[in-house]
Chains A and B, each alone.
Chain A
């Protein structure tokens, strides 16, 4: 089966840094996604990690450790518009489950002025 855990909610101050952790237990791992979802809107793609290490993309970075079943999303220089839910999702191998994604429950980040 699959089990993906991430904190329910986090609060941070504008201009600060926040790190959202995600741990997973799954068979047939084939990469990990982070999506951002504003209330009432569709999830939008942020990052994809398939190898261990850090991927940096502007203010957002994502890290993966496959041996530990662990990832984090780092948001730097927080802006008010970053207030949203952040979804961690594991991608499964095509032969196992056709590239489907299994999502965590999402972490709601609230950025305060």
Chain B
């Protein structure tokens, strides 16, 4: 596809459940970022991958959050024991090796009941 894609677009789960959010970056983009955006606020950085490795995971709020990018392309954000406070839009972005812009996907709206 032409842009960053994220699935699912919406996810409703119950408190305590496990969820996985998927991001498919633009082909050839080596850097991949996850952000979280709450209503009326700007996106908040979670984790950054350069290739397969997590270069910076300082934004992950706690050890319930984990992300992988095993082949340097698709990434999965995993949240264990979800809490109501995890409800937000989770945005993925990717950027090419030679340009600074980050291109965002449409996001996954996570609702924890």
**Residues on A close to B: CB < 8 A?**
4, 31, 33, 35, 41-45, 48, 50, 87, 89, 91, 97-106
**Residues on B close to A: CB < 8 A?**
4, 31, 33, 35, 40-45, 48, 50, 55-56, 58-59, 91, 95, 100-107
Given contacts A41-B106, A42-B106, A42-B107, contact A97 B42 (CB under 8 A): no
Which of B43, B44, B48, B59 makes the CB contact (< 8 A) with A43?
B43
Chain A residues with CB under 8 A of B106 = 41-42
Q: Which residue on B lies nearest to A107, using beta carbons?
A: B42
- CA A87 – CA B31 in complex, angstroms? 21
Q: Which residue on A lies nearest to B55, using beta carbons?
A: A98
Q: A102 touching B91 by the CB < 8 A rule?
A: no
In the complex, number of A-B residue pairs with CB atoms less than 8 Å apart: 59
Nearest chain B CB to A47's CB is how many angstroms away? 10
Which of A31, A35, A98 makes the CB contact (< 8 A) with B56?
A98
Q: A105 touching B105 by the CB < 8 A rule?
A: no
- CA A105 – CA B43 in complex, angstroms? 8
- CA A99 – CA B30 in complex, angstroms? 12
Given contacts A42-B105, A42-B106, A42-B107, contact A100 B100 (CB under 8 A): no
Q: Which residue on B lies nearest to A31, using beta carbons?
A: B100
Q: Which residue on A lies nearest to B44, using beta carbons?
A: A103
- CA A91 – CA B58 in complex, angstroms? 15
